[in-house]
Amino acid sequence: MGNMRMRTKPARPIMLRALLLLAAVSTLLAGCGKDADTAEAGSSVKGPDIIRLPTPTNLTGISNYYVAEELGYVKEAGLQFDYVGAVESGQLVASVVAGKIDVGGAHINRTIAGISAGAKIKAVVAQTETTEEIPHMSFVTTKDSPIKSAADIVGKKVGIPAFGGCNEYTPYAYLLKNGIADPKGKFEIVTAPEFKLEQALLQGEVDLIGLHENPSTIIKRGNLKVVFTDYDIWKSIGGATPLYFSNKFIKEKPDVVRRFVDVISKTNDFVNANPEKAIEITAKRGDMDPAKIRANHYAAHGEISPESVQVWIDLLSQFNEIKKDVKPEDIFTNEFNDTLK
Amino acid sequence: MPEIDNEILLRTYPMNYIHPKAKGKKTPVLSILKAVAEKSAVMLLILSAWEALPRLGLVDPFLLPPFSDAVGSLVRLFQSGEMFRHIAKSLERSGLGFLAAVAFSIPVGTFMGWNKRIERIADPLLQVCRNTSTLALYPVFILFFGLGETSKIAIILWGTVWPILLNTISGVKEADPLLIKSARSMGISRIGLFTKVVWPMATPSILTGLRLSAATAILMLVAAEMLGADRGLGFMIFYYQERYAIPEMFGGIIFIAVLGVLINFLLVRLESRMTRWKERIVKG
Amino acid sequence: MRKKAWVRLRSAPERWAAIIAVCVAWEAVSRSGLVKDFILPPFTRVIYKLVQLLVTGQMWPDIGASMQRAASGFAISVLIAIPLGFLMAWSTRIERVLDPVMQFMRNTPTLALYPLFILVFGLGELSKVAIIFWGAVWPVLMNTVEGVNRTDTLLVKSGRSMGASPLTMFFRIILPSALPSIFTGIRLSASRSIIILVAAEMLGADKGLGFLIFSSEQNYKVEQMYAGIIVLILLGMLVNFLLVRWEKHITRWKQDITGS
């Protein structure tokens, strides 16, 4: 029996600890519950309408969210931006569909592919677009590389940030444009985050890399050269990156969408007119070196041009990446953009 | 004493001591049917929920396609031969990483288990290494080995080496000293001592290590193929996700899970078969 | 007692020898230029950076965020796994029913399940905690089941024959004999929750040690990256050390009994 008593002894601290854990968890759960409550309370009171956005991280260009906030456009429109945390670009569409964020935006091809795959979203306002100096993507190799033309790329190793989308299809389109039919499989693809690609190129692991950077900044590094950019393929229409909402959000709060579109289109025009100021704001808010931020060109008045959508629908359907019946009007609308009226 | 903690992670349950299975006199067919029904009940429940939620529109099918769609996509991937490309490449990577781990761990583990002092010195380091997540070291692997095959195999090697190594050490260390002494007194050669006495005694422990490592080699694939791959089971999950081919992505996840369960199951069987002699001796 | 302390003191250099050797080798390989700076900066410089990050307080928010996530995920897994483990061990039917599903769950790589975690738990803290829970729950669960199952049949039988009530049986026989195994499980789960942190913080975090490691990598801050890795390792060691101590303390009665 003595043994028995000894055995029960250790049970007490366990119970105590279990209780502590329980307390910890319940406070945690309570905390979550509270968050949800306050969020709901916020929307029922006549405060600003909240728009949940992915936190801009690892910025290489201007963040028009930050610019819009700093200029006071957001507040004026009765809106409030809530940043929910970084969202990987591959998860953007899913996060919007799942209602975890309200707005997503990346290269238009992601929106098209998502909608074709059944994502109920729609692009409502344009952001950056390609110019000769500031293309969406530049394909880069070492200065002494023998790669000079599309034909030289055949059989080589091409490093891109991810499969699919602009990363993969821009080089295909370049090969196609230069008379190389059926370019899929004509070169080997290696994926790695953009910041790793340059190192891989310099170490000879890949022969050509795709970067979302300006030719001028790439050339400035001295040991690199630009083979082509999306401007060489499509001029200005290839690099659209409009923002989209879920159809559900648009249906429930068309007025919020309208005000948001207005904010963005005003911001676009401001950025184009004052790139230095926009860079300064982005650098300050993002806590980064202004020299590392490029002054993207933004679509005037945030207008989504039908050609910029069509060009990618054509390319993606050519490679059976999307369903054949996808139409531009499934992808975008300018109807919420009052500045165009 | 370094506990072989990982062992427990993937161990299947031993005989239930509290409720020894009743040796019923029912017809075997019936009891088998019953067992099958019991074993598959929750699974079926989950799968039907998976099927129903998107079909009923409770979850957007873009986010979670019905189970049948995922399986259908997987079947199509097999029919087109696409799947075999991924399987072959992944098994090659897992296999190489696993073999390298075995080739390193068994000799080194034997040596360390035999030399208590060396084991004492190395153990803290081994514990640190084992408790360092592969993902935390991911950038280091990429820095050292680049984006090619080497870093993928190195990542799998890192994940698989510790279970075998630690289990080999403990197996050798815990070999019955009485048997070793008596074998020595009978004038056994040094090689004979290992092949005839120490290793057979360490076999159950080493086998557990091998099984854990093999299972880990499959689990590590997804991390290993996250970067710089153009085929493989882990790669295909990311690839189809990028392409919004969500049914295909879930097909890949299902396949990797089934493969892991299958390998684990086969190795458990193998292990219990190979260690049966021990139970016989103990019981006899 | 005194002898024990002396033995421990004497074994201290032995216990640290291998780790120190690795650090020295690291320093040498890097200083000699065998491995380039941007791949492996010297150990001392990494430590200097680490101290700097700690002193300036830059790293504390990351450590805090990570600890909070790991602790929450761990706590939830313990709270769920121990009762569930007892249930599974108590009824073979429940075990039979749940086992196949759990086999699949354990064999599915966490990284592959990100889309599901986002779908169910969103992008915030909750899904990170859920991922840690997912990684940490298995050891406690398995060890609880195992611990209960290994209860000496003789003890159970004699308890029954003495007419002990189920409650008494549970608290006096089953729980005490399962405890050591459960503690091992708890300790393993705690280590796992640190290990899995990095995976959890790859999913859209803006602070945390895993985030620190990957964002330092992206910004070519190699020293900071290694500093983050070292903190993560130290944290794992610390948690393990504390729980081993605790485990020994709690299960001492067992050794006492067998000893006497």
Mean pLDDT over the full length of chain C: 86
Burial of residue B141, with CB atoms counted within 10 A of its CB: 0-12 exposed, 13-18 middle, 19 or more buried: buried
Query: What distance in Å separates residue C101's CA from the closest CA in chain B?
Result: 6
Question: How many Å separate Cα A288 from the centre of its chain?
Answer: 19
- Search chain B and give the residue with CA nearest A323: B245
DSSP class of B196: I
> Ramachandran region of residue B39, left (φ > 0), alpha (ψ -120 to 50) or beta?
alpha
Q: Which of A136, A161, A122, A89 has the alpha carbon at shortest distance from A328?
A: A122
Condensed to tens digits (0 to 9), the pLDDT of residues A51-60 reads: 999 988 767 7
Q: Which of B257, B250, B46 has the alpha carbon at shortest distance from C106?
A: B257
Condensed to tens digits (0 to 9), the pLDDT of residues A165-185 reads: 889 999 999 999 999 989 988
Query: Which of A93, A196, A246, A249 is the mutation pick for testing B, counting most B CBs within 10 A?
Result: A196
- Search chain B and give the residue with CA nearest C200: B135
CB contact under 8 A, C14 and B252: no
According to the model, what pLDDT value does residue B164 have? 93
CB of A326 within 8 Å of any CB in chain B?
A: no
The Cβ-side half-sphere exposure at C257, using a 13 Å CA radius, reads 13
Q: Are residues C29 and C40 in contact, defined by beta-carbon separation less than 8 angstroms? A: yes
Whether this model's ipTM surpasses 0.85 comes out as no
Q: What is the mean pLDDT of residues B92-109?
A: 95
pLDDT band at A20 (very low <50, low <70, confident <90, very high): low
Tokens of B232: 């493989």
CB of A26 within 8 Å of any CB in chain C?
A: no
Q: Are residues B239 and A113 in contact, defined by beta-carbon separation less than 8 angstroms? A: no
Query: Which of B142, B242, B246 is the mutation pick for testing A, counting most A CBs within 10 A?
Result: B242
According to the model, what pLDDT value does residue B7 have? 38
- What Cα–Cα distance (Å) separates residue A95 from each residue in A52, A87, B171, B239, C122? 11, 8, 49, 18, 8
Residue in the block written with tokens 């990987």: A88
Q: What's the CA gap between A200 and C22, in Å, rounded?
A: 28
CB contact under 8 A, A98 and B244: no
Q: What's the CA gap between A278 and A134, in Å, rounded?
A: 16
Residue A13, pLDDT above cutoff 50? no
**DSSP secondary structure letters along B143-162:** HHHTTSHHHHHHHHHHHHHH
Q: What is the mean pLDDT of residues A132-160?
A: 93
Helices B149-173 and B134-145, packing angle to 10 deg: 130
Q: What's the CA gap between A327 and A317, in Å, rounded?
A: 11
Q: What is the mean pLDDT of residues C167-195?
A: 87
- Please indicate whether the domains covering A49-129+240-340 and A138-234 agree at the CATH topology level: yes
Residues of B with CB under 8 A from a CB of A: 60-63, 142, 146-148, 227-230, 238-239, 241-246
According to the model, what pLDDT value does residue A34 have? 40
Q: Which residues of A222-252 are buried (b: 16+ CB within 10 A; e: fewer)?
A: eebebbbbbbbbbebbbbbbbbbbbeebbee
Task: Give A21's contacts in chain C (Cβ within 8 Å).
Answer: 75, 78-79
Query: What distance in Å separates residue B132's CA from the closest CA in chain C?
Result: 6
Task: Name the 3-class secondary structure at A332.
Answer: strand
Task: Give B46's contacts in chain C (Cβ within 8 Å).
Answer: 101
pLDDT band at B228 (very low <50, low <70, confident <90, very high): confident
CB contact under 8 A, B121 and C119: no
Q: Which chains touch A (3 or more CB pairs under 8 A)?
A: B, C
**DSSP secondary structure letters along A269-282:** HHHHH-HHHHHHHH
Q: Which chains touch B (3 or more CB pairs under 8 A)?
A: A, C
Residues 241-260, chain C, touching B (beta carbon < 8 A) = none
According to the model, what pLDDT value does residue C21 have? 92
Condensed to tens digits (0 to 9), the pLDDT of residues A223-252 reads: 999 999 999 999 899 999 999 999 999 999
Q: What's the CA gap between A282 and B57, in Å, rounded?
A: 41
According to the model, what pLDDT value does residue C5 have? 65
Task: Give C76's contacts in chain A (Cβ within 8 Å).
Answer: 25
Question: A49-129+240-340: what fold?
Answer: D-Maltodextrin-Binding Protein; domain 2 (3.40.190)
Mean pLDDT over the full length of chain B: 84
According to the model, what pLDDT value does residue C66 have? 94
Q: Are residues C155 and C95 in contact, defined by beta-carbon separation less than 8 angstroms? A: no
According to the model, what pLDDT value does residue B9 have? 37
Query: What distance in Å separates residue A74's CA from the closest CA in chain B?
Result: 31
Task: Give A198's contacts in chain B (Cβ within 8 Å).
Answer: none
According to the model, what pLDDT value does residue A7 have? 36
Residue type, C258: T
- Determine the number of helices (DSSP H) and then strands (DSSP E) in chain A: 16, 12
Q: Are residues B209 and B167 in contact, defined by beta-carbon separation less than 8 angstroms? A: yes
CB contact under 8 A, C79 and A100: no
Higher pLDDT, C176 or A36: C176
Condensed to tens digits (0 to 9), the pLDDT of residues A82-114 reads: 998 778 777 889 889 988 899 998 899 999 999
Q: Are residues B108 and B165 in contact, defined by beta-carbon separation less than 8 angstroms? A: yes
Burial of residue C45, with CB atoms counted within 10 A of its CB: 0-12 exposed, 13-18 middle, 19 or more buried: middle
Q: Which of C100, A198, C16, A61 has the alpha carbon at shortest distance from B37?
A: C100
Query: What distance in Å separates residue B243's CA from the closest CA in chain A?
Result: 6
Q: Are residues C102 and C202 in contact, defined by beta-carbon separation less than 8 angstroms? A: no
Spatial CB neighbours of C89, under 8 Å, sequence gap ≥ 6? B16, B18, C95, C144, C145, C146, C147, C148, C149, C178
Q: What's the CA gap between A189 and A157, in Å, rounded?
A: 6
Condensed to tens digits (0 to 9), the pLDDT of residues C27-54 reads: 999 999 888 888 899 999 999 999 999 9
Burial of residue A279, with CB atoms counted within 10 A of its CB: 0-12 exposed, 13-18 middle, 19 or more buried: buried
According to the model, what pLDDT value does residue B195 have? 84
Residue type, A276: E
pLDDT band at A159 (very low <50, low <70, confident <90, very high): very high
Sign of CA dihedral C156, C160, C164, C170: positive
pLDDT band at B36 (very low <50, low <70, confident <90, very high): confident
* Poorest-pLDDT segment among A98-112, A229-243, C156-170, C175-189: C156-170
Spatial CB neighbours of C96, under 8 Å, sequence gap ≥ 6? B35, B38, B39
Query: What distance in Å separates residue C89's CA from the closest CA in chain A?
Result: 19
Q: Give the start-to-end residue ranges of the domains of chain A.
A: 49-129+240-340, 138-234
Q: Are residues C222 and B46 in contact, defined by beta-carbon separation less than 8 angstroms? A: no
Q: Which of B175, B219, B181 has the alpha carbon at shortest distance from B200?
A: B175
Q: Beta strands A208-211 and A138-142: pairing type?
A: antiparallel
Rounded to two decimals, the pTM is 0.82
Condensed to tens digits (0 to 9), the pLDDT of residues C79-101 reads: 999 999 999 888 888 888 888 88
pLDDT band at C256 (very low <50, low <70, confident <90, very high): low
Mean pLDDT over the full length of chain A: 85
Answer whether CATH 1.10.8.60 is correct for domain A138-234.
no
Residue A288, pLDDT above cutoff 60? yes
CB atoms within 10 A of CB C61: 13
pLDDT band at B281 (very low <50, low <70, confident <90, very high): low
The total number of residues written for chain C in this structure: 260
Q: What is the mean pLDDT of residues B41-47?
A: 90
According to the model, what pLDDT value does residue A11 have? 39
In percent, how much of chain C has pLDDT > 70?
Answer: 92
